[in-house]
Structure 1
């Protein structure tokens, strides 16, 4: 097994079928699909059951949020690489083929392989593409990679642990920053995931949680962490102001 895809769900019936329909046709004997549901009250689990012959693991029980669900998924994963996809995201066409080709052509001693994501409006109009390689110290300015659609070496979780479930937005950033400058990365220069705008990671709450993560970084002084936080806050405030007049800034 090469790639394990983990999807966390909770009352995701409105978007889940579209998500699964983007993934299931791409599955091969080198990939597996894991669904971890938080005890949904809508038709989420009925939708999951309708794909039961394509799903390796289906868990449905109360959890403590998306990162708790992801941790459960990692514990069930058999793949050498783990990908996380939101229940309202879509896997781009040929994404798994491209990733498998990338992996098979290289002698990979990486912790992370990232790619690009396409951001779209709620009515599915393209906005922009974003995502780059994790590099030090650029990563201290915020999450440079597209976390949805990226591949995490399963050994990374054994080395540095799982997601911190006390964090609600930035635990993915926290996980990677634990290894920081020593994180071994590669970059697949293509869109592998399609994501709708308006997620919780695009908020002032997220910036505040990034600050918590920066303060934990052993390579940063308190003053440096605060300055980086202010920089994030200013950049996000500017983007928010431009967005109100219909201009999307993403750098």
Structure 2
């Protein structure tokens, strides 16, 4: 029997992108998808777009929330699938065959993950993320940075704890590490699984987001190892920009 996937989309005042995201889910060839949409009481016409597809949604709520992770927790509480995937407004499942390909890659994994392609506001491809998905992933894999994007990871629902609301910008990192810590089988699908719109809240609040990430990594990896890891991250980042500057010159 094919596992049931709960896809959760949260949105607030994003009339420009919401339909594109919804269609990437609704047009999947995979037959066993439960689509949950959580709107934060949008006022810009977003809800009118959602209403066009309401009959195809398993759950739809539109009410004020206490931020992105509170909205994601609402979606998680409504989910009944074997697995959960967060595909927030502006992002897309990579192709219409992606979910089928993910579950065909291996049977009954605790976590599936894959690669992400980045896009700008004009929906022009920026190519692969700087952090490529690691060949093998476990809870320690984030020590040199978030190597898997949140849109590119399918997690068994019984491993998916609520997001910790004390983190405003990087609770998704804490959430993935917790799930990975309790997972016994994690499968690399070796394929692109998501398209990501750059410029989310963690980019707009970049310094605050980095501080939160440091706290989260310290919690799991320890302060001294985390400091050493960040020196490696800084060196890697400098090398990346030097290499790309030479390429562009």
User: What is the rounded CA distance, in whole Å, between the counterparts of 1:26 and 1:183 in structure 2?
Assistant: 26
Aligned to 2:148: 145
Are 1:197 and 2:201 an aligned pair? Answer: no
1:193 partner SS: strand
What RMSD, in angstroms, separates the aligned Cα atoms of the two structures? 2.6
Specify the SS of the correspondent of 1:26.
coil
Unaligned 5+ runs, structure 1:
none
How far, CA to CA, are the matches of 1:136 and 1:74 in structure 2? 21
Is the Cα contact below 8 Å between 1:129 and 1:191 reproduced in 2? Answer: no
Structure 1 residues 58 and 180: CA distance shift in structure 2, 3 A: closer
Q: Structure 1 residues 66 and 242 mapped into 2: Cα distance closer, same or farther (>3 Å)? A: farther
The one of 2, 15, 18 equivalent to 2:17 is 15
* 1:204/1:233 contact within 8 Å kept: no
Whole-angstrom CA distance in 2 between matches of 1:237 and 1:207: 17
- Could you list the structure 1 runs, at least 4 aligned residues long, displaced by more than 4 angstroms after superposition: 179-182, 233-243, 245-248
Map residues 26-45 of structure 1 onto 2, 5 A cutoff: 26=28, 28-45=30-47
Q: CA deviation at 1:98?
A: 1.1
Answer yes or no: is the 8 Å Cα contact 1:210–1:229 preserved in 2: no
**Is 1:207 the counterpart of 2:206 in the alignment?**
no
- In the alignment of these two chains, the number of paired residues is 238
Mark the CA change 1:246 to 1:24 in structure 2 (over 3 Å): closer, same or farther. Answer: farther
TM-score relative to the length of structure 2: 0.84
* Structure 2 alignment gaps of length 5 or more: none
Q: 1:200 to 1:227 in 2, by over 3 A?
A: farther
Per the TM alignment, residue 28 of structure 1 is displaced from its structure 2 partner at its CA by 4.9
Contact 2:29–2:100 (8 Å) recurs in 1: no
TM-score (norm 1): 0.83
